[in-house]
């Protein structure tokens, strides 16, 4: 293998690894812990272990002025519940302290809790003209004005017949809860706009911790309809958005908790920090400022639910962008083709493994004309193999002369050597679209198929006692099957005219490329490996059928000879592409000759 071949292979490897690192896990996920610390147990159960705010003495209460009467009381939790979520609101502060998704479970089948007092804290901060100055709503005790399983109104009674009111309302189904706060009664006591803060430490809900961290981010959507996020790959980041926000969401791979308004809120600061312990994913914090006048009619919402495109699309403008569908070029393919087809199949197919197989079959049938064109091009090149071999013997190591004569040969027989590459390039957007769709699709979470326990994460047949760089600490059978089928397919479709004079040795392409994919996809969701494995097997079947029953090599040879006869009689003109290629080769040959002359002059 010469230097050019090595350079080509290294560039391909870096391209694939770079794309995988951008969208893939940064390492092998930790094994499921056998023991649970007290803090983790509290986090999973939702039991409050948060420290109570210090009790104010009589002097401090006197400084609190009109707020003093609401600073005494007993905290309790009021439950709200519908078919999808279970919430608890703490009367000390009047804000949500607990949010559980009823129809989802953690990877260990324990309740899936997005918010609890040990990991999350919300607060309203009021700058007042009282002696205390800054007052937190968490210092105030609210009483229940009215309550039902899906609706709650809380009141903090202040002096002079004043009060602060907060209300919550759930629909019969859904993951969003309507929220409003009324501060009109204390408007005259405020010296600046109230500030809402939310600190949230995302804890482990899925087995693959690395994938969860890779896909966790603090997302936000501003009044200019720009969707942004704090860099998911950064260990620590903070940002103050330029424009006012419509919503922000603290999301992991499959779920998010969000705060939404119909008006606007000015962000003071958004922060994100990576966690490194076995249960922590990332920690987020958001601080937003909202004028009192804007609280009226703001129609706030909290969202505690899945990153499901169809569900998120109905929450508010831009909220569906919490589901990552790939780069701008491939996202429309997922949104307009892959997802509608997936949703249609989902109505009739209950097993997601079989759904993937049916999806592969449909996609491959739609791409059959391109596949046929690719096989046909390979057949043309195979028919020219004797002439191409003679040219290689004639020119030896003179690559420039060989390429010039090859172009003349292609023109003579009416063959476009790049016609087989175009179908492959047209299939690449589909490839990259699926590369983004499968890791983000919540439907695969917990889905079983054959020996695979969860299609949303990797499957393992052997856990290694050591870590292999770029590969991981486990062996995936599905990835091995995919690699073997890719090598088989490559040997079947390899063009016979490839030689060692090519920029990349054909054997390197045939075996190196699948091996690179084996390393890249070993820790990716098994749904993706299943798709590519089945796709390879269908391509192999197509190749066998086209080669044995559709493409007639004798007729192709006769067609090429007829083209050659027409060319010799001047009945066929060169295409503009062929003319440009020959001109480029002539210029390359002239430059090489000039370089040889210069070398001789120096010696």
Q: How confident is the model at residue 508 (pLDDT cuts 50, 70, 90)?
A: low
- Nearest alpha carbon to residue 118 among 45, 194, 61, 16: 45
**Could you read off the pLDDT of 520-541 as tens digits, one per residue?**
899 999 999 999 999 999 989 9
pTM score above 0.85: no
Q: How confident is the model at residue 331 (pLDDT cuts 50, 70, 90)?
A: very high
SS (H, E, C) 325-347: CCCCCCHHHHHHHHHHHHHHHHC
- Nearest alpha carbon to residue 498 among 489, 509, 511, 514: 509
Residue 543 has pLDDT above 80, yes or no: yes
**Could you read off the pLDDT of 398-454 as tens digits, one per residue?**
777 777 787 778 777 777 776 666 667 777 888 889 989 999 999 999 999 999 999
The contacts of residue 303 (CB under 8 Å, 6+ apart) are 175, 176, 177, 249, 256, 257, 258, 260, 315, 319
Residue 238: the pLDDT is: 95
Number of Cβ atoms within 10 Å of the Cβ of 538: 20
Residue 4: the pLDDT is: 42
3-state secondary structure of 240: coil
Whether the Cβ atoms of residue 303 and residue 257 lie closer than 8 Å to each other = yes
Could you tell me which residue, 407 or 488, shows the higher pLDDT?
488
**Could you read off the pLDDT of 161-212 as tens digits, one per residue?**
889 999 999 999 999 999 999 999 899 889 999 999 999 999 999 999 989 9
**Could you read off the pLDDT of 441-475 as tens digits, one per residue?**
999 999 999 999 999 999 999 999 999 988 989 99
Whether the Cβ atoms of residue 462 and residue 479 lie closer than 8 Å to each other = no
Residue 160: the pLDDT is: 79
The 8-class DSSP code of residue 569 comes to: T
- pLDDT above 90 as % of the chain: 55
How far apart CA 307 and CA 443 sit, in angstroms, is 10
| DSSP result, 251-284 | E-SSEEEEEEEEEEEEEEEEEEEE--SSSEEEEE
Residue 581: the pLDDT is: 63
Classify each residue of 23-48 as buried b or exposed e, where b means 16 or more C-beta atoms within 10 Å of its C-beta. bbbeebbeeeeeeeeeebebbbebeb
Residue 45: the pLDDT is: 33
For 105-109, 118-122, 257-261, 384-388, which range has the lowest pLDDT when averaged over its residues? 384-388
Residue 547 has pLDDT above 90, yes or no: no
Q: How confident is the model at residue 321 (pLDDT cuts 50, 70, 90)?
A: very high
Residue 587: the pLDDT is: 75
The contacts of residue 502 (CB under 8 Å, 6+ apart) are none
Specify the pairing of strand 227-229 against strand 245-251. unpaired
Whether the Cβ atoms of residue 342 and residue 357 lie closer than 8 Å to each other = no
The contacts of residue 297 (CB under 8 Å, 6+ apart) are 262, 263
The two three-digit tokens of residue 140, written as one number: 């105030």
Residue 113 has pLDDT above 80, yes or no: yes
How far apart CA 597 and CA 594 sit, in angstroms, is 5
Output the average pLDDT for the chain.
84
Q: How confident is the model at residue 136 (pLDDT cuts 50, 70, 90)?
A: very high
Cα–Cα separations (whole angstroms), residue 277 to 33, 50, 73, 201, 210: 11, 20, 37, 12, 12
Could you tell me which residue, 107 or 47, shows the higher pLDDT?
107
The contacts of residue 331 (CB under 8 Å, 6+ apart) are 325, 433, 436
Cα–Cα separations (whole angstroms), residue 349 to 342, 343, 478: 10, 10, 22
**Could you read off the pLDDT of 49-75 as tens digits, one per residue?**
334 455 566 666 777 778 888 898 899
Pick from 38-52, 149-163, 193-207, 540-554 the range whose average pLDDT is largest. Answer: 193-207
Q: How confident is the model at residue 555 (pLDDT cuts 50, 70, 90)?
A: confident
Q: Which domains does the chain have, with CATH numbers?
A: 3-25+333-572 (no CATH), 43-324 (2.70.98.90)
Which H/E stretch holds residue 520? helix 513-521
How far apart CA 146 and CA 300 sit, in angstroms, is 19
Number of Cβ atoms within 10 Å of the Cβ of 399: 17
Biggest distance spanned by C-alpha atoms of the chain? 110
Could you tell me which residue, 531 or 570, shows the higher pLDDT?
531
The contacts of residue 34 (CB under 8 Å, 6+ apart) are none
**Could you read off the pLDDT of 343-388 as tens digits, one per residue?**
999 999 999 999 999 999 999 898 888 777 777 777 787 788 888 8
Query: Sign of the C-alpha dihedral, residues 67, 73, 75, 81?
Result: negative
Number of Cβ atoms within 10 Å of the Cβ of 224: 9
């Amino acid at each position: 293998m010469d230097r050019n071949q090595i350079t080509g292979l290294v560039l391909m490897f870096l391209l694939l690894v770079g794309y995988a690192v951008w969208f893939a896990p940064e390492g092998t996920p930790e094994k499921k812990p056998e023991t649970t610390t007290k803090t983790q147990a509290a986090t999973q159960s939702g039991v409050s272990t948060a420290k109570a705010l210090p009790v104010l003495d009589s002097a401090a209460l006197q400084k609190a002025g009109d707020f003093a009467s609401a600073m005494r009381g007993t905290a309790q939790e009021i439950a709200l519940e519908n078919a999808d979520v279970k919430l608890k609101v703490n009367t000390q502060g009047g804000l949500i302290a607990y949010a559980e998704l009823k129809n989802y479970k953690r990877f260990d089948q324990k309740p899936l809790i997005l918010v609890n007092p040990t990991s999350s804290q919300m607060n309203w901060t009021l700058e007042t003209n009282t002696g205390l100055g800054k007052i937190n709503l968490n210092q105030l005790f609210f009483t229940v004005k009215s309550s039902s399983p899906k609706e709650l109104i809380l009141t903090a009674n202040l002096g002079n017949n004043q009060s602060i009111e907060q209300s919550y309302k759930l629909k019969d189904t859904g993951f969003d809860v309507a929220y409003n706060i009324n501060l009109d009664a204390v408007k005259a006591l405020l010296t600046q706009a109230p500030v809402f803060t939310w600190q949230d430490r995302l804890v482990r809900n899925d087995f693959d911790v690395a994938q969860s961290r890779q896909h966790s981010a603090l997302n936000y959507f501003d009044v200019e309809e720009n969707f942004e996020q704090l860099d998911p790959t950064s260990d620590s980041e903070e940002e103050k958005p330029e424009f006012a926000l419509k919503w922000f969401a603290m999301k992991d791979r499959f779920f998010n908790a969000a705060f939404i308004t119909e008006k606007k809120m000015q962000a003071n600061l958004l922060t994100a920090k990576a966690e490194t312990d076995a249960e922590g994913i990332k920690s987020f914090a958001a601080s937003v400022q909202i004028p009192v006048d804007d609280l009226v009619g703001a129609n706030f919402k909290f969202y505690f639910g899945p990153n499901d495109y169809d569900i998120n699309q109905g929450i508010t403008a831009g909220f569906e962008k919490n589901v990552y569908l790939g780069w701008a070029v491939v996202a429309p393919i997922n949104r307009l083709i892959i997802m509608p087809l997936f949703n249609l199949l989902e109505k009739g197919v209950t097993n997601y493994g079989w759904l993937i197989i049916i999806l592969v079959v449909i996609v491959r049938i739609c791409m059959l004309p391109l596949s046929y064109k690719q096989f046909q091009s390979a057949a043309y090149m195979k028919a020219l193999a004797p002439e191409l071999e003679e040219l290689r013997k004639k020119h030896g190591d003179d690559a420039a002369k060989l390429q010039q004569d090859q172009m003349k040969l292609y023109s003579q027989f009416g063959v476009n050597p790049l016609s087989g590459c175009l179908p492959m390039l047209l299939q690449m957007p589909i490839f990259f679209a699926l590369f983004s769709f499968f890791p983000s699709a919540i439907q695969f979470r917990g889905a079983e198929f054959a020996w695979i326990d969860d299609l949303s994460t990797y499957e393992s047949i052997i856990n290694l006692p050591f870590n292999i760089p770029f590969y991981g600490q486990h062996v995936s059978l599905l990835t091995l099957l995919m690699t073997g089928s890719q090598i088989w397919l490559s040997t079947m479709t390899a063009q016979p005219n490839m030689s060692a004079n090519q920029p990349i040795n054909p054997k390197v392409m045939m075996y190196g490329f699948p091996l690179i994919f084996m390393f890249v996809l070993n820790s990716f969701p098994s749904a993706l490996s299943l798709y590519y494995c089945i796709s390879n097997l269908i391509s192999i079947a197509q190749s066998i059928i086209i080669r044995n029953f559709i493409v007639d090599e004798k007729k192709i040879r006769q067609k090429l000879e007829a083209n050659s006869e027409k060319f010799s009689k001047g009945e066929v003109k060169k295409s503009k592409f062929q003319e440009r290629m020959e001109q480029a080769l002539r210029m390359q040959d002239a430059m090489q000759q000039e370089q040889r002359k210069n070398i001789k002059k120096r010696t």
